[in-house]
Every structure is written in structure tokens, then in C-alpha cells.
Structure 1
Amino acid sequence: MLINADFTRVATSLPKQQQWVKSPQKGVERIMLDRVGAEKARATSFVRYAPQSDFPHHCHPGGEEIFVLAGTFSADDKHYPAGWYLRNPPASGHRPYSDEGAMIFVKLWQMPADETRYVAIDTNKASNWQRQGSRSVCQLFASDYEHVSLQRLDAGELLFTEAISGGAEIMVLAGELYADGETFSRYSWIRLPTETPLEMVSGPSGATVYIKTGHLAQVIGLVS
């Protein structure tokens, strides 16, 4: 299966375009944002758990990155309400489920084999945010391979002032972004190839966004 699999092109997904599809597991649905592969794939998705739904214990050979958007996501004996950011490195495993229901943003099979660090950050904590210039930033992960953060922009603020080496991926969590005559509201997703000069500006109420940069330099040529 190939979805937004040309990493040399801009890819977007707007809420008005998104459709939930059933996963192989009862009570779990997905919106596929990009995907290279079948059920075991390099994939970026929104995933929705109905109350009392789960997946059997399984491993993630290529790692797993999660941001909890709504409800409470659980894995084994740990519980993560909306706002938690998680990284499970390659070869890790767990049994994910949700008692009350949950919606999460998930990236699978996108970590280098030598990544070993587990990450669990509660972005609701004010102490995890720092002021950087004109915006507030919650740093989530940084390596030679990629940088991940949440950023709060004031009204009318440019998201990037220059093209990003290694590309960028953005998910809108609150407010709006404007670019190329399009409005990107909550749960919009944008993927920009390396060095793409796209001017994105926050709306009149500002915006809170998830941003990952640098990681796309490794995937150009993944699909011919």
C-alpha cells in the first residue's frame, strides 16, 4: 500500500478530507496520512480507540512515536491522557488499549536501528515549556537524525523563516495555519520535502503545532 509515498512532494491532509477506516483489530480505526507497506509498514496515522478496545501485545521493529490527542491511551500498566508524547525505540513491545477511548497520532517504523531511548513527556506541564524568541516551545526529542517539538505561535507569526534542511512535518493541535490560500485547522497534517520554501503563517488566534524536522532527508528514494 502506498499513501503519500513520494517524499519529494508536499503532502497534506485536511480534516474535511479525512476518513476513518477500520483496522484489523475490533474497535480500532485509522486515518492513514502516509504509508509505505501493507499491515506492517512505514506509516503515519491518526488512530482512534473505542472504549474498552485494545491490540494484542506486539513488537515494533522500527520503533513507534505517539502523541495522545484525546481520551486516555494505555500501554501495559501505564496510562497517558491527552497531551502525552511517547517514543518506543526499535525492538520494543507493548499491549496498547484504552478503557475510556482515545485518539492518538502515531508514526511507525521511522527510527534508526540504533535508537534506544524511551521517551514519555507530559506536555500539559508548564515546566516542560520554554520561551524561545516570540514563541513557547516544548522540546520533545532531539538527535542527529531529527528534532521534535510542540510550538505555540502568536497571531500572524511565520512558522518557518527559511526552508528546512531535511524537511518538516507539521500537525495542527489548536488554532489555524494559512499557506498557499488554504486554511489548516485542528488535526491538519502537512509534510514538506527538504528545502521546500513554503510560507506558513498562524491565524488570528495563533496556533499550537507539533513539528518534526530533519527526518525526511533519510527517506528520499524510499519509493521509486
Structure 2
Amino acid sequence: MHLHADFSKRAIVAAHQYQWVASPQAGVERVMLDRIGEEKARATSIVRYAEGSFFPAHSHPGGEEILVLSGTFSEDDRHYPAGWYLRNPPGSAHQPASEEGAVIFVKLRQMPESEQAPVRIDTRSPANWVQQGTIQVCPLFTSEAEHVRLLRLPAQEPLAWPPTGGAELLVIEGTLVADGQNYAGGSWLRFPSEDSPQVHAGPEGVTVYVKTGHLPPDGPGA
């Protein structure tokens, strides 16, 4: 399967466009945002766990990145409420589950083998945020290949553009405006390198996940 696999093109899935698809595991559904491959794929998804659902224990040869959007997501005996950011490096393994139900943003098989350290950050903790001018920033991960953070922009605040290496955005709270279109919480937007959209916060401000530097400069995903 190839879905939004050409990284030289814009890809947008607004929250009202979600199409939930059953996974191989009962009680777990997903919205596919981009994908290269079948069940074992380089993939970006929104995943919804029903109350009491789980996946059998498995490994992640290409790593896994997670942002918990609602509910509580569990790995074995560790529990992560909404707001937690996780990175499980290549070769790691876990048994994911949710006792109360959860919705998570997930990126699979998108880490280099050199990434070895797990990351756990509670983005709801004020201690993890810093003020940069009028914007609040929660740094999540930085390497030569990518820069990941949460941003809180006040009403109408523009998002600095263009970033190097393209950008991927997930609206967490509020409204993001891109080239005059409003995108509510849950909307996902990917802009290729050299693209220069006009992006700013809506009238109530916005909290947005931002990943930059990770997209190939041109051509389809491999």
C-alpha cells in the first residue's frame, strides 16, 4: 500500500475526514495518514484503542514514535495519560494496551538504527515548556535528521516558515490556519521541502505538534 507516499507533495487529512479502519487486533482501529507497505509498513497513523483492548507483544525494528492524545496508553506495566510523548528506538519491544481506552498519534519505522535511547516526556508538565518570545515551546527530540516539538501559539501568531527539510504538523488543540483554510484539533498536515504555506494560529490560539527536517528533498518515498 502507498498512501501519501510522495514526499514532494502536500498531504493533508483534516479531522472531519477521518476514516477509521479496523486493525488485525480486535478493539483497535486506525486512521492511516501516510503509509508505505502493508501490515509491516513505514506508517503514520491515528490509532484508537477501545476500553480493555491490547496488541500482543511485538518488536519495532524501525522504531516507534507516539504522542498520547486522549485516554491512557499502556506499555506492559507503564501507563501514560494524554500528553505523554514516547520514542521507542529500533529493536525495542512492548505489549501496548489501554484499560480505559486511548487515542494516540503513531509513527512507525522512521528512525535510524543509530537511535538507541528511549524518550519519555510529559508535555502536560509546565516544567517541560519554555517561553520563546510570544510562543511557548516543549522540545521533544532533536537530531541531525529531525527536530520535534510542541508549540503553543497565541491567537493569529504566524508559524515561522519555511523550515529546512519539510514539515509535518498535527493540531492538538485550537485551530490552525494554513493558506486560508481552518484545521481543527486532530488535523494532520505535511508540507514538502521548499513549500511555503502561510500558517498561523486561529482566533483562540493553537497547540501543534511540529516535526521538521525529516522529509526527503524531492521524489516519492522509498
TM-score calculated relative to the size of structure 2: 0.97
Alignment partner, residue 197 of structure 1: 196
Cα deviations by residue, 1:114-163 (Å, 9 ceiling, x for unpaired): 11010000011100000012100000000111010000001111112x31
Alignment partner, residue 135 of structure 1: 135
Sort the Cα spacing of 1:220 and 1:94 in 2 relative to 1 into closer, same or farther, 3 A.
farther
Q: Which runs of 5+ in 1 are unaligned?
A: none
Alignment partner, residue 19 of structure 2: 19
Cα deviations by residue, 1:15-55 (Å, 9 ceiling, x for unpaired): 11111110000000000000000000000000000011000
- CA distance in 1 between counterparts of 2:211 and 2:45 reads 15
Sort the Cα spacing of 1:194 and 1:94 in 2 relative to 1 into closer, same or farther, 3 A.
same
Alignment partner, residue 77 of structure 2: 77
Q: What amino acid does structure 2 have at the position aligned with 1:180?
A: D
Alignment partner, residue 181 of structure 1: 180
Retained in 1: the 8 A contact 2:193–2:217? no
Alignment partner, residue 144 of structure 1: 144
Alignment partner, residue 115 of structure 1: 115
Paired residues, number:
222
Q: What amino acid does structure 1 have at the position aligned with 2:5?
A: A
Sort the Cα spacing of 1:65 and 1:101 in 2 relative to 1 into closer, same or farther, 3 A.
same
The CA RMSD measured in Å over matched residues stands at 1.1
Retained in 1: the 8 A contact 2:8–2:218? no
- CA distance in 1 between counterparts of 2:192 and 2:131 reads 27
| Deviation of 1:219 (Å) | 8.0
Retained in 1: the 8 A contact 2:85–2:120? yes
Q: What amino acid does structure 1 have at the position aligned with 2:171?
A: V
- CA distance in 1 between counterparts of 2:146 and 2:30 reads 25
TM-score calculated relative to the size of structure 1: 0.97
Retained in 1: the 8 A contact 2:5–2:220? no
Q: Please say if 1:66 is aligned against 2:66.
A: yes
Alignment partner, residue 98 of structure 2: 98
